[in-house]
Amino acid sequence: MPAHLSRRIPKLSAVQRDRLLVSVAVVVGLALIVLAVVYWAEPAKSLPSWLPGHEAGSDHHHVKHGIASFLLGVACLVFAWFRSAGPRPGRAAV
Partner 1 sequence: MLGLLQGFSELFPISSLGHSVILPKLLGWDIHQNDSYFITFLVATHLATALVLLGFFWHDWVRIVRGLGRSLRDREIAPDDTDAKLGWLLVVGTIPAGLLGLLLEHKLRSVFASAQSAAFFLMVNGLLLFAAEALRRRAPQPESGDPDARVARRLSWRDAAGVGTLQATALVPGISRSGVTMGGGLLVGLSNEDAARFAFLLATPIIGAAAALKLPELFGSQGNGVRGPALVGALCAAVTAYLSVRFLMRFFETNRLTPFAAYCLAAGLACSLYFLAV
Residues binding partner 1 (CB under 8 A)? 64-65, 67-68, 71-72, 75, 78, 81-82, 84-85, 88, 90-94
Cβ closest to partner 1, residue 7 vs residue 78: 78
Q: How far is the CB of 53 from partner 1 (least distance, A)?
A: 10
Q: How far is the CB of 41 from partner 1 (least distance, A)?
A: 18
Closest to 39 measured CA to CA, from 27, 31, 47 = 47
Closest to 79 measured CA to CA, from 40, 28, 22, 33 = 22
Q: How far is the CB of 68 from partner 1 (least distance, A)?
A: 5
Q: Is 25 exposed, middle or buried (0-12, 13-18, 19+ CB in 10 A)?
A: buried
Q: How far is the CB of 7 from partner 1 (least distance, A)?
A: 34
CA gap 94, 82 in Å, rounded: 6
38 alpha carbon, distance to own chain's centre:
16
Cβ closest to partner 1, residue 30 vs residue 74: 74
For residue 2, give the DSSP letter. -
Cβ closest to partner 1, residue 11 vs residue 88: 88
